[in-house]
A and B are shown apart, each in its own frame.
Chain A
Amino acid sequence: MLSFAEEIFLLALDDKQGVIKPLPVSALDYALAGALLMDLALQDRIDTDLTSLSVTSTEPTGDPILDDTLRDLQQKPEPQPTSFWLKYFADQSKRIQERVLARLIHKGILKQENRRILWVFEVRRYPLMDNHEVKEVKTRLRELILSDDIPDSREVVLINLGNACRLLDDLFTPAEYEKVRSRITALARLDLIGQEMAKSIREIERTMAIAMSMTMMA
């Protein structure tokens, strides 16, 4: 089974171009941070409520990225708000992305290609080698959202991550998406870490929009 960080990375990848799709500002940084925390929560290492996140088990998961995350979470003696940790890990997103990419390449799901543009600029692309996992996740999420089924915790997390990065509309026709938009919102709300993550992304977008409008007015 893929980790949430791997799944959201694959969902965010334009599989024809082998590059990350255009996403809201900082969305992937926060989605990867949220993905790590949500994986730890579903593996019973952390718990959250409306005020804080606490480590409930220090037993390693066996996943090196998650275990480093769990170690970092133990550095603060007092429980911190979930938003604090989301920012902490989002700030390390470049390093996390590199590790997630390396793992997807190692698993044979992606390959790395280096190309030169105008013989000078090197561009790195990550074409999909095996699209079975991506197809399976997309089909499962599409079917769940179109039905009135109750999601499991894993599906809630994936919907939350996909919605925060605005990647779920790719799964539907525009007419279908209009019909399922409210169900997506309702399902994405069911996870508290995911809610905090979506809130952080919205706040950054709002700040950027204000900054841009002030620049244009100046």
Chain B
Amino acid sequence: MNISESKQGNVTILKAEGKLDATSSPELDKRLSSLVESGTKQIALDLAGLDYVSSAGLRVFLSAAKRLKQAHGKLALANLSVQVQQIFDIAGFESILPVFKTVNEAVESCAI
């Protein structure tokens, strides 16, 4: 899995590409944890290039959202592929996490 980072105002954008499973999820989890620990409060995840998420991957999103909420921050997800959207629909993740069609919308929602 590839993870790249950019900034738009105060919002950190992480772009994740490839597969998010038991093998790759510790890497994204570590990246998100270190951002929160270093004081980052607004994170948008661009998932356009993510074509697979397993249970282990879903747990990374849940844990990041919880950590950010505890730190009075915000996490927003954007650009879900058809496959990832399907697993989000089945697990009902949109009841817990804000999901947007575009990265700009996700960034705007974090910035508010």
A: which residues have CB within 8 A of B? Answer: 41-42, 44, 46-50, 56-57, 149-153, 156, 186, 189-193, 195
Q: In this assembly, does B36 line the interface, its C-beta being within 8 Å of a C-beta of chain A?
A: no
B65 CB contacts on chain A under 8 angstroms: 150
Choose from B23, B59, B96 the contact partner of A150 (Cβ within 8 Å).
Answer: B96
Report, as a range, how many residues of chain B touch the other chain.
20 to 34
19 new A-B pairs (CB below 8 Å) besides A149-B69, A151-B62, A186-B96? A46-B22, A47-B22, A47-B54, A47-B56, A48-B55, A49-B21, A56-B56, A150-B62, A150-B65, A150-B69, A150-B96, A152-B63, A152-B66, A153-B62, A189-B95, A190-B58, A190-B96, A192-B91, A195-B91
Cβ of B66 and Cβ of A151 under 8 Å apart?
yes
Chain A residues with CB under 8 A of B66: 149-152
Contact residues of B between 36 and 94, Cβ < 8 Å to A: 52-56, 58-59, 62-63, 65-66, 69, 86-87, 90-93
Contact A47 B55 (CB under 8 A): yes
Measured CB to CB, the closest approach of chain B to A206, in angstroms, equals 20
Interface centre among A57, A152, A193 (most CB of B within 10 A): A152
Is the pair B55, A193 in contact by a Cβ cutoff of 8 Å? yes
Residues of B within 8 A of A195 (CB): 90-91
Measured in the bound complex, the distance between the Cα atoms of B40 and A89 in whole Å is: 43
CB distance from B88 to the nearest CB of A (A): 10
Contact A156-B62, Cβ < 8 Å, known A49-B87, A191-B55: yes
